[in-house]
A and B are shown apart, each in its own frame.
Chain A
């Protein structure tokens, strides 16, 4: 079996008395979609924040591509190739969709301290950014300010940004939230192909999408992983059924 690209070992994070992440160990292998599911407040987004470097863990370690990244901040981890989206879209609202992606392209090129050349006519920024927008189906919306995009389009834009970063691993926090059934289906097909480029750690409430996509599923309850396994294993798991899937077929 391939060596995991991302390994999380014994990660802990508390907010006061609340143990949001309680000794979590999971990993992400090349080529897979690993879904994180669990009830609201289970600590899924906290875990995503810890992996992306937005939050610092109290204990435990994170290894990415063979390197301990626990002490590296969010910009540093993004530069190493962790591309994330946010549960609540986090974009530069005044910038057009295109410029939001162009920002990621210039960040990837490590060129944010160039002071002279105008970005608006720079094909080395515009072309990769347009390519990323077109892959996520936003090509026609390139010039619209992010603030004026629909909720679903903003989710697509966040994914386009992660693509433009050339991420080695994708961390997607509820990418389908707020999307209609049509867009959800399109995105499911898209993510299914995306795994060949880089593995995806996916938080998602849409169970149809999770069962269609996931190679493995981890179930998070009260900050702890109660089970990790294939779709079939998780469906059959008695603990998971009682904790989470109880009311499902």
Chain B
């Protein structure tokens, strides 16, 4: 067993143990804290596909996170009021079934990512960062100026959506649902990275001229990765809305894009459990330091500085050493 696999197993078990500990202590709030780690970890795993494997520093992933969140929120609202989502030109009825909402969230996030990626990926470096940011801000202002779903105030979910056979209102049950989705997301990440597509994507990051010289257009590979990455982050967005029973434009704002990047860097860029480790540390700091001072992000900044200066591989790099390539 390699050190990284051992570390990943420990992290996965620790994360799984947290809410049970909280349950035993009868502290349901801590269960939601663990769920927050899981959901943010999944969102950042989506980003890790673009940023870590593909080297695409997207500063606009909040757009996909928020789109996923709004899919869950809008569906829940319409389903609760027993109204169709729209009636013309055909009737699209709402559902409160989580699996349908998850697929819709991934699908819509991917659909939004397709034009954003097609345009942004014609640039690189700082320009790519800025264009993805600009697109995400467009989605943000669109949400603010659309009064039907709460505009600036956001949209509350009266009840969580349903998963047959599970009591989604129960914190521990909902944690387990999210945890299962995180594991599925990590499995998808692994499979993609190990596939021919993943090979081409990694080659595009390492040396795009080499990829072009063997006959594969780097742009097409990156665009597909961007869309897949957005879908995964969109799925996390839907779970995030369910967790908070609330969705607002803040999910779409550039702060959120920044947090997702921070999670990936804290944990370890391109490492399977990097985003999970990053999310665990981030939520922990947010809770512990946030309880001490409102200015807790100052300390987060210092930690981030330390990681960038002294531990380029993030937490996973620090604990498990350099990645092994084959």
Which of chain B's residues 192-233 have a Cβ closer than 8 Å to chain A? Answer: 192, 194-200, 202-203, 206-207, 209-217, 220-221, 224
Task: Summarize B's interface: helix, strand, loop or mixed.
Answer: helix
Shortest Cβ gap from A56 to chain B (Å): 14
Instruction: Report B-chain residues with C-beta under 8 Å of the C-beta of A114.
Output: 195-197
Determine if B325 is an interface residue (Cβ-Cβ < 8 Å).
yes
Determine if A116 is an interface residue (Cβ-Cβ < 8 Å).
yes
B: number of interface residues (CB 8 Å): 27
Shortest Cβ gap from B309 to chain A (Å): 23
Instruction: Report A-chain residues with C-beta under 8 Å of the C-beta of B325.
Output: 94-96, 99, 145
Which of chain A's residues 133-176 have a Cβ closer than 8 Å to chain B? Answer: 143, 145, 161, 165
Instruction: Report A-chain residues with C-beta under 8 Å of the C-beta of B206.
Output: 92-95
Instruction: Report B-chain residues with C-beta under 8 Å of the C-beta of A107.
Output: 200, 214-216
Residue of B209, B217, B326 touching A90 (CB-CB under 8 A): B209
Instruction: Report B-chain residues with C-beta under 8 Å of the C-beta of A94.
Output: 202, 206, 325
Do the beta carbons of B217 and A75 come within 8 Å of each other?
yes
Known contacts A93-B206, A99-B326; is A165 also within 8 Å of B217 by CB? no
Determine if A78 is an interface residue (Cβ-Cβ < 8 Å).
yes
Do the beta carbons of A90 and B210 come within 8 Å of each other?
yes
> Which of chain B's residues has its CB closest to A85's CB?
B213
Determine if B308 is an interface residue (Cβ-Cβ < 8 Å).
no
Do the beta carbons of B214 and A54 come within 8 Å of each other?
no
Instruction: Report A-chain residues with C-beta under 8 Å of the C-beta of B180.
Output: none
Determine if A47 is an interface residue (Cβ-Cβ < 8 Å).
no
Determine if B191 is an interface residue (Cβ-Cβ < 8 Å).
yes
Do the beta carbons of A115 and B214 come within 8 Å of each other?
no
> Which of chain B's residues has its CB closest to A106's CB?
B196
17 inter-chain pairs at a CB distance below 8 angstroms, sorted by A residue, are A73-B217, A74-B213, A78-B215, A92-B202, A95-B202, A95-B206, A103-B214, A104-B214, A112-B221, A113-B220, A114-B196, A115-B192, A115-B196, A118-B195, A120-B194, A143-B326, A161-B214
Chain A interface residues toward B at CB < 8 A: 52, 54, 73-76, 78-79, 84, 86, 90-96, 98-100, 102-104, 106-108, 111-120, 125, 143, 145, 161, 165
